[in-house]
Amino acid sequence: MLQHIPTLENNKTKLQPLDKKDTDALAEIAIAQPDLFQFMSQQLNSTADVYAYIRKGLDEFNEGASLPFLIIDKESGKVAGTTRFGNLVKEHKRVEIGWTWISKEFHNTGLNKAMKFLMLQYAFETLEFNRVEIKTSEINYISRRAIESLGATFEGILRHHIINDNGSLRNTVYYSILKEEWPEIKERIFGKYKDKW
């Protein structure tokens, strides 16, 4: 079991351990921007929904399966959203990056890429994992482009993989990055940000 949730930080963003006290700040984003969840299986329509979402992430941390984070935009000092490592399997050295939602205020600002860099670096260089998975809805083309911009490899589509809160079926697209691919991706995709981050 992992002993603690780390704080990951660069000049652009800070990922700090998610806490139940973050409920109100995240609920303010979630309730005001319901379309953030249009491609997610779970809808967060109320403060109670957000509290349950946070609690589930923390419960999974206690089970050794998750590392949930609060995302801070360092330029403004504002809470930007949340993300986590999930489906963490230490014996097979693999983890998924996901459960990410960011206020539209910070879309197209480079925050997501800076955050993903921190997470990929931690997964490969600190945890020394072999594989990082990223998945999204087949029809979430914005998310798919963002994942592909990280250098991740498309692996396939799992049909009728998830039943959404509204009862509809979701096809899920899988991507991955492997440990041996990370040094080249780190330089090619993220190298140009060295002086900024």
pLDDT of residue 184: 97
The type of residue at 58 is L
pLDDT at position 70:
98
The Cα–Cα gap between 30 and 43 comes to 9
H or E element, residue 158 = strand 153-163
Beta carbons of 114 and 154 less than 8 angstroms apart: no
Pick from 96, 92, 140, 137: nearest CA to 116: 96
Cβ atoms within 10 A of the Cβ of 169, count? 10
pTM: 0.95
Domains belonging to the chain, first-starting first, are 8-193 (3.40.630.30)
pLDDT at 164: 83
As a whole number of angstroms, the distance between CA 170 and CA 188 comes to 32
pLDDT (tens place) for every residue of the chain, 197 residues total? 578 999 999 999 999 999 999 999 999 999 999 999 988 878 899 999 999 999 999 999 999 999 999 999 999 999 999 999 999 999 999 999 999 999 999 999 999 999 999 999 999 999 999 999 999 999 999 999 999 999 999 999 999 999 987 888 999 999 999 999 999 999 999 999 887 88
Q: What is the pLDDT of residue 1?
A: 54
39: exposed, middle or buried (Cβ count in 10 Å: 0-12, 13-18, 19+): middle
Answer positive or negative: Cα dihedral of 120, 121, 126, 131. Answer: positive
